[in-house]
Every structure is written in structure tokens, then in C-alpha cells.
Amino acid sequence: MASTPDILSIVTRPTAAVDRLLDWITPQHPIAFVRDGEGLVGIGELLRLEFRGADRFTAAAAAWSELARTAIVHDSVKRPGTGLVALGSFAFADSSDSVSVLIVPRIVVGSRDGIQWVTTITTGETSGLPGASDGLPAGPHEPAGDLVHVDFVPGEMSTKNFTKTVKAALREISRGSAAKIVIARDQSAELPADADLRLPITSLANRYPDTFTFAVDGLIGSSPETLVRVQNGAVSARVLAGSAARGDDRISDGRAAGTLMSSPKDQKEHALALASVMDALAPLSSELHAASEPFALQLPNLWHLATDIEGQLSQRSSGLDLIGILHPTAAVAGTPTPDAIRLIDELEGFDRGRYAGPVGWVDANGNGEWAVALRCAQVSGARITAYAGAGIVAGSDAKKELAETELKFRPIVEAFG
């Protein structure tokens, strides 16, 4: 549940002091959501709203609109992400022990379309008014510190158990219980006390610039999948499903992409994921467009089948409203959704936490960007747990799916390598 929110005073001003956004990440409790050098970095936690259970999205949307309604905002930049903003991360499952959070930072450093700004947020009605603060605190926090090296070992789901579970999922699919089930596994490691997370996060962002690199309440990663982006009434998403390893040279790499594009199994897996997002957005949008064929998205570790969706919202839905409607897509759960969720619960047998849940930000106007938390790990005290999964459809091969999860772990494993 949300704690009782205070009235917040917010000042956003343009700044010339921000060169590289990522230099502002703090060593402990980093808060960030960036892609290609743009996005938001939070410094310090002013307010934390917590939610649990099946109504976590509706409760978050209601608490957020109340906070936004009473906030006193002085915003001379006026762009999506300026003014009052929270970064959030939500649990995958209704029954998860992991709490879902919206975090309002004390300071937000932002960059978008070549414009940089700083937002200071304070509680109470008088502080934080223009002139009361000139914005940026001591910083930037240079990316520094020692490399955090950890060795991941299988977690609650061993590799052997994963292949067994994929085979069990295939039996359910052949019985007609579901058309697609996404099966995940975990790997974990001990972290040194007070590990400085700036280097792993910066290295994720540098190696995977086209993905959303995030750090919210200990959940860190680089996700290629946009769950939903809301910007002044426009809505967009990038659906991914269907994967192949990159080739070792130009020829084998081109062949890998070609084989993926012509694979009926991957095309089916992708079509189910796309349909789940289109079906969820259609009643809320006009002019909803998606290409008739996916394209091959190139990442350093993988090829993915990808489809971009764009439309206009026909109702005043905020990003928080939409993540509650869209989650979980067939890219992380399966099809039909209720059957896939039940089967994941039965077959996987571990708590996914916030892996595969929405992670992103929302502003007071309901604008926001939310990724599906993939290629990520949760830092909880001295423990780090990484997650990766694969979509199982008729024709999937358990060994290949295991190999695919290894490639999906790579961003996190290398960031801590």
C-alpha cells in the first residue's frame, strides 16, 4: 500500500551543467532509466509508494494521480519527464513476494532531444520554489569505483530443471492447455558489501545503447523491449519475441538473421506476442499501426524478431493505466494469458520478482516510458539474482531454449565480469 503522500513542491529548470547523464548516477541506490544517452537519472529518494497484489497497477495509478493533483509545480522546460516524475518497477506476478514501487527522487537530471534539465522535488508547500535552490547538487558522480566481479551460479531453477520444465511445457502445449508458455530460470551470486553499481550500469548502457538501461530499487538491466511509451497522447510499443544467436562473422550473422526471419516457430511465437499487445491497445487507441512483418532487431548478443506499434490514445490513459492493461504480454507469459500464467506458476515454481514486470517512469501528465524488465538482475542486500526466459511453442527444442537463455544472461553476466 502507498504511504500517505505529502504535498510536493517541484521546480524544473534547464541546465547546461549536464554533459553525460550517466555521470550523475549515485554509487549506492542508483535510480536511472536511459537509452542512447537520454532519459532520467534520480539522485536520492524523497518518497516511495509501495504496492502489492493483483491491484498493484490500479492502486499505483490512483496514488499517483492524487499526488500529481496536489503537487505545486514550477516547470520552465515542459516536456515529457519534466516536473513531477517517479521511476517505478512492478512485480511480474500478482502473488509475488516482491513489492512494486514508485520512487520520487529528490533530484532528477534529465535529457531529451538535446535539452537537459534538473528537477528538484521537496515536501511541503513553501520549499523548492524558484530561487530557493539552484538545482544540481554536488556532482557529477564520476563513473568510478572498482569493477564489481561476481560469479553467477544456478539459482532456484537449475539448468537440468529448466530443460525438464521446457519439456513439461511442450507436453502441456501438445495437450492444448496453451499455445505458448514462457519459461524462465535464475542465476545468483554474492555481492561485496556496499558494492558500487555505477560501473556495471554504465557498462550496460555503453554496450547496449539502443536498449533501456534501468536501475530502480535494486533492479538493474538493459531491456530491448518497450512495453509502452506515452507522449502527449501518442502511444507506442516495441514487441519482441523470437530470438537467434548472432553469427561469428558477417556471413554467418546474416544467415542467422535470415533463418530467424523465415522460421515458422519464431514467427508464430512473435505473432502471439504482437497480438497480445495489439488486442490490449486497440480499445484505447485510434490509428493503431503495426507493420505486417516483423524486422530483425540486432543486439550485441542476439537477433530478435521485432515489431513497432504506434497509435493515438482515444482516452486520457496514463502510462500507469496502460502498463496495468498490457502486463503481462505474451512475450513474457504466453498465450492465452490466464492459462500461461497458471502454467508458469505450476511449472516454474519460483518467484520471478520484478523480472519481466514493467520498469520505467511516469510524469504528472501521465506521460512515461515503460520497458519490460528483461536482461536484468535484482540486487537485494548482498545478493544479486539474474533472470532469463524463453518463449516455448510447439516445435521448441529444450536444449536450444537453454542456450538462448545463456545468451540472454550475457548482458548482466558481462556487466559483472
Nearer to ligand ISC, 82 or 188 (CB): 188
Shortest Cβ 91–ligand ISC spacing (Å): 15
Identity of the residue, 268 or 408, whose beta carbon is nearer to ligand ISC in the bound complex:
408
The position carrying cell 492444448 is 176
Residue 141 vs 304, nearer CB to ligand ISC:
304
Measured from the CB of residue 7, what is the shortest distance to ligand ISC in angstroms?
A: 40
> Pick the catalytic residue: 45, 125, 180, 401?
180
Which of residues 101, 390, 393, 415 is near ligand ISC by CB under 6 A? 390
Q: Look up residue 85 and give its amino acid.
A: V
Stretch that binds ligand ISC, among 120-128, 252-260, 359-367, 385-393 (CB under 6 A): 385-393
Cβ burial, residue 167 (10 Å; 0-12/13-18/19+): middle
Q: Which of 68, 191, 240, 384 touches ligand ISC by CB under 6 A?
A: 240
Distance CA 142, CA 138 (A): 11
Residue type, 193: A
Q: How many residues bind ligand ISC (CB under 6 A)?
A: 17
Among positions 61, 297, 388, 413, the unique one binding ligand ISC when judged by CB under 6 A: 388
User: Which residue of 40, 230, 374, 398 would you call a contact of ligand ISC, by CB under 6 A?
Assistant: 374
CB-nearer residue toward ligand ISC: 198 or 408:
408
From CA 90, how far away is CA 354, in angstroms rounded?
6
Name the minimum Å distance from CB 15 to ligand ISC: 35
Asked whether the beta carbons of 25 and 201 are under 8 A apart, the reply is yes
Strands in 261-314 per DSSP E: 285-290, 295-298, 302-313
Q: Which three cell numbers stand for residue 166?
A: 521446457
180 catalytically annotated: yes
Nearer to ligand ISC, 328 or 366 (CB): 328
Distance between CA 62 and CA 203 in Å, rounded? 36
Sequential DSSP letters for 343-391: HHHHHH-S--TTTTSEEEEEETTS-EEEEE--SEEEEETTEEEEEEEEE
C-alpha cell at 388: 532469463
Q: Nearest distance from residue 392's CB to ligand ISC, in Å?
A: 8
Nearest to 345 by CA among 159, 168, 174: 168
State phi, psi for 258 to the nearest 5 degrees.
-65, -45
Site for ligand ISC in 297-316 (CB under 6 A): 304
Answer yes or no: 225 catalytic: yes
CB of 84 or CB of 240, closer to ligand ISC: 240
Within 68-127, the residues that bind ligand ISC by CB under 6 A are none
Greatest distance between any 2 Cα atoms in the chain: 67
If the CB atoms of residues 195 and 392 are measured against ligand ISC, the closer one turns out to be 392
Q: Beta strands 31-35 and 38-51: pairing type?
A: antiparallel
Give the binding range for ligand ISC (CB under 6 A) out of 42-50, 235-243, 245-253, 335-343: 235-243
Return the exposure string of 272-295: e unless at least 16 CB atoms fall within 10 Å of the residue's CB, then b: bbbebbbebbeebbeebebeeebe
Instruction: Choose, by CB under 6 A, the member of 311, 319, 391, 411 that binds ligand ISC.
Output: 391
Among 38-46, 47-55, 137-145, 383-391, the segment contacting ligand ISC (CB under 6 A):
383-391
184 bridge partner residues: 389
Helix pair 159-175, 398-415: axis angle to 10 deg: 130
Distance of CA 384 to the CA centre of its chain: 17
Q: Shortest Cβ distance from residue 374 to ligand ISC (Å)?
A: 4
> Please, what is the minimum distance in Å from the beta carbon of residue 62 to ligand ISC?
30
Three cell numbers written together for 340: 500461461
Q: At 175, is the secondary structure helix, strand, or coil?
A: helix
Q: How far is the CB of 351 from ligand ISC (least distance, A)?
A: 15
Site string for ligand ISC, 25-64 (x = CB under 6 A): ----------------------------------------
Q: Does 327 bind ligand ISC (CB under 6 A)?
A: no
From the list 74-82, 108-116, 142-150, 382-390, the region that binds ligand ISC by CB under 6 A is 382-390
State the DSSP code for 247. P
Residues labelled catalytic: 180, 225
**Residues lying near ligand ISC in the complex (CB under 6 A):** 182, 184, 225, 240-243, 304, 331-332, 374-375, 388-391, 408
